[in-house]
Amino acid sequence: MYNVGFSALLCLLFVCCKAMPTQLSQEAVNDRPVIGVLTQLVSDDILKPFGRTFIPSSYVKYLESGGSRVMPIRLTLTTAEYENIFKKINGLMFIGGAADLETSDFARVAKIFYRLALTANDAGDFFPIWGTCMGMQLLTVLVAGENLLTRTTAENVALPLNLTAETKSSLMFRGFPDELLKAVTQEPLTGNFHTYGVTVKTFHENEKLRSFFSLLSTNVAESGAHFISTIEGKRYPFYGVQWHPEVNRFQWNSQLNFPHSAHAVQLSSLLAEFFVNEGRRSLHRFDNPEEEASSLIYKYTPVYAGNFTGYEQLYFF
């Protein structure tokens, strides 16, 4: 009788579990995310023989380390082509570099995707965006509708973060161990390589920025100006860092202040995993495996550039 009763109990439990799905099963998860990365225009004469646009391999490795694949997005396509790409990728990264944030092709294409992402998220179609350094600056321009950057030089320097009270309720830092959060505020874990940024004063005075983003951290420039260094969308899954988490694991130029401590590596790893996990929540997909394979960065070969740039490798397109 014990065996019969136990079997009946198992059947009952199975039926109940089927009838009451958990929260995890209610939300579909995409375990093959593809993150799009906007290419950068080549402006340096020494790079022009290799191609018109490029992506440093450190960004590619960073995203791959979080569990995603990468699709390079060129800057010469039509709006219709970008709309088609948007339906296939599961997130987007704006990388660092140098470009006009209002008139360049980089800014033009970013604006198209930004508007598509706003519309999609409003309709319940989850789509995250990440901006690093110039990419974060670009996010502020897109949200504010104007360029609010001023000189906030922090060039080739590693800094701890001045975390705000909003960090505790943030998504970006929610899964961090207490030890790492403490280290972030005390150790130079973030590599900074920028001349311009948005000051804390400007951020708080601009209604569009302060209503759109939570301010998670600040830093002090060489001039003493306080600038915003980490932001997170309040309603939309848009994230920005003025610093470079990818360099902590994938850039090694000894002349540059790339943090490589155990905590620096852990910081980089957790942020990569966080953003890719956001991408897993997007159910966009390619029409067929052949189209997917032909769109990914695997078919390109990076060029060793450590002997003439600060990057180890560059992908050219």
> Quick one: average pLDDT of 78-107?
97
Report pLDDT for 9.
40
Taking a C-beta distance cutoff of 8 angstroms, is the pair 261, 255 a contact?
no
CA distances from 115 to 70, 95, 143 (A): 21, 18, 10
Concatenated DSSP letters of 60-110: HHHHHHTT-EEEEE-SS--HHHHHHHHTT-S-EEE--S---TTTSHHHHHH
Domain-wise residue ranges, the chain:
34-316
The mean pLDDT of 168-184, rounded to a whole number, is 96
Q: What is the pLDDT of residue 140?
A: 98
Q: What's the whole-number mean pLDDT along residues 174-192?
A: 97
pLDDT value at 86 more than 90: yes
Is pLDDT at 18 greater than 80 in this prediction? no
The closest of 169, 168, 167, 224 to 201, measured between CA atoms, is: 224
**Catalytic annotation present for 260:** no
The answer to whether 220 touches 226, Cβ cutoff 8 Å, is yes
Residue 23's pLDDT is 37
Q: Which of 11, 16, 17, 133 is catalytic?
A: 133
With CA atoms as reference, report the closest residue to 185 among 169, 202, 198, 167. 167
- Confirm if 206 and 188 have CB atoms less than 8 A apart: no
- What are the structure tokens assigned to 134, written together? 């110039």
Contacts of 185 (CB under 8 A, 6+ apart): 160, 161, 162, 163
Q: Which helix (H) or strand (E) holds 241?
A: strand 238-241
Q: Strand, helix or coil at 7? A: helix
Give the model confidence (pLDDT) of 202-218 as tens digits: 999 999 999 999 999 99
Q: Which fold has domain 34-316?
A: Rossmann fold (3.40.50)
Provide the pLDDT for residue 28: 74
Report percent pLDDT > 70 for the chain.
Answer: 91
Asked about 133 being catalytic, the answer comes back as: yes
pLDDT of residue 211: 98
Rounded distance, CA 260 to CA 252, Å?
A: 9
Q: Which of 194, 244, 263, 284 is catalytic?
A: 244
Average pLDDT score over residue span 132-152: 98
In angstroms, the CA 203 to CA 1 distance is 71
The answer to pTM > 0.85 is yes
pLDDT digits (tens, 9 = 90+) for 41-85: 998 999 999 999 999 999 999 999 999 999 999 999 999 999 999
Rounded to an integer, the average pLDDT of 258-280 is 98
Location of structure tokens 């609010």: 148
**pLDDT by residue (tens digit) across 231-242?**
999 999 999 999
| Alpha-carbon 175 to chain mean position | 17
Q: Residue 296's pLDDT is what?
A: 98
